[in-house]
Structure 1
Amino acid sequence: MRIEAAVTHGKGEAFKIEEVELAKPRAGEVLVRIAATGVCHTDAVARDNGIVPYPIVLGHEGAGVVVQVGEGVKTVEPGDHVVLSYSSCGHCENCRSAHPSTCEDMNALNFGSEGIERLEQNGEKVATFFGQSSFGTYAVADERNVVKVRKDVELELLGPLGCGIQTGSGTVLVRLKPEFGSTIAVYGCGAVGLSAVMAAKIAGCKTIIAVDVHDNRLELARELGAAYAFNGGEVDVVEEIRKVTGSGTHYAVETTGVPSVVHQSLAALRPLGTVAIVGITPEMTIDMFGEIMAEGKTMTGVIEGDTVPQLFIPELVDYYCQGLFPFDKLVRYYAFDDINQAFEDSRTGKAIKPIVKMK
């Protein structure tokens, strides 16, 4: 079928809304009419850094309605509202032990297109992203990408639950699991970091500390549950955290990927504290003895919040409906034709979580 999609033709090139041909769903696949798709930093990284084949249709935070299912699909049916998340194989050791975000084929399934041939343009193959390519009016995804959600919530809002918001909240609620009354610092108050702040409030953390360099984001972090908000460009963050916690935080979530901030997150931990690294961080040097081993600290990497999307995303929707997870405060909507502006506003910080509506 012919659809409209935002095509990226080369490294760093702007999106172009063009017609492409989308294959019918095969066995185990689902055809979804996309209502809206979140804009994620990972899309920008893929567009600008040559880590994917081109041409490609990006987009990996889609939300829509199931139109058709392929043979053997059992978890959804036509008419269901769904969120599209990351792809996983389902049969490796990590997938089978409820850690699909560290699937042994994670990179091949989400950043490569070999064996996932669904899109064409003028007789030439167009690559698929995260097994969904949801920057289009329709998408075909593997059943494992698809998460059924309740129908009484605005569908256009839900796409970002598939990646960025799941990453921040899942890192806290699923991987770190902070004890009631514990302390936590969140470094970076974009969509991922603010989702971690909201999750820490749900978990019952006594002291939630937000760190960023934009005062407007720090103000929102306070509104969402942070007891303290420090501007890293104006104060000594480690010193301030120690002042309000005594010996540092029990936990931290580092979302920025900035090496100096990673060091801060370690230094501001109390002995035996744990920091989860979720930002895309360049090669950097860590003093293994001084920063980690000497005080029994733990640094762990977390992908997609270490969640099972089919279980966790519906829980987030329920939290939202109960008023406990107001992630709608992070969102700004854009028309599909304005997708390049949405990415620019995300880059500059004008928008925390842009969502592109297909209609």
Structure 2
Amino acid sequence: MTTTDTNPAGRDTRPPALSAENLVVEFPAGRGRKVHAVSGVGLEVAAGETLGILGESGCGKSTVGRSLIQLPPPDSGTVRLGELTLTGLAPGELRRARARMQIIMQDPVSALNPRRKVKDLVWEGLSIWGSGEDPRDKDDRIDTALRDVGLDPATVRERRPHELSGGQCQRVCIARALLLDPEVLVCDEPVSSLDVSVQAQILNLLETTTRRRGLSMVFIAHDVSVVKNISDRVMVMYLGKVCEVLPSDGMQHEAVHPYTRLLLASLPEAQRGPGPGSAGAPAAPSGPAAELPSPLDPPSGCRFRTRCPLATDRCADEDPSLRDMRPGHRVACHHVEPKRNHA
């Protein structure tokens, strides 16, 4: 059974803003086969915290994000928004609960209706749920939301998505999400389709906004440096499983799972800092040049074992569970041991 308490010791003891336990998501692939996209994943996100989900393409991180907001619901497992259990809710109740969560998609242009103007796109959520305010305040609310994300209302409010850049479209998506005052943001690779300079602007905007509003955020990406810089904690996934969960500020020199170290070793040296290969840090693993496994037929036991230099027969026979290395740091590996404090 996957252990899901990834909340560091010493944090607020109130219920997490968002939590999930033993999520399983599988997709039919014909001929009786299934894609094992997510297999027993658990997580917790505290109020005001940003949890980064990191992994290579196909690891299941985006599927986890979508299952958190029940689009679609997981095949099994539990998702809670505060104390409200989302899994199993009646459609009407789930629809109302979703107003407390908002998702920002990878492709901002495709996420916006091309036939609608920016002012209507931003107001869309409140037009559905009702703002509870004087309709004459609508324009002021829209303009404030656009200014909050760095857009000039006079310039963009009458435009349509095709008349904006990718970065501007992503800012519109963020403004639309924030206008409903959500408790949780799920960001599914929100900067991967943008230029590097625009990426930095969007990341700064997200970080500033979440801290100012006290929002919790799940930030999904395959870029190690992006996830590490914006997140409070990082959850590393491989082939539908959680490998390691650790604080982002100690990631470079405290990561111990061979897959996490491999990801850190992929960073350019200028970005890497005191990480794998540096003095006092674990070396980057050099595993067998095996073909990447398929989620249609994942390896038995530890799913990373076909690429892991530490793999043994035990890794093929026994699926490692997450174990505490230190407060706030958990690892799923048979061959790493917790650091013990010596008095």
Give yes or no for TM over 0.5.
no
Instruction: Give the TM-score range, shorter chain.
Output: under 0.3
Q: Answer 1 or 2: which has greater strand percent.
A: 1
Q: Which has the higher contact order (CA 8 A, sep 6+)?
A: 2
Calculate the TM-score normalised by the size of structure 1.
Answer: 0.26
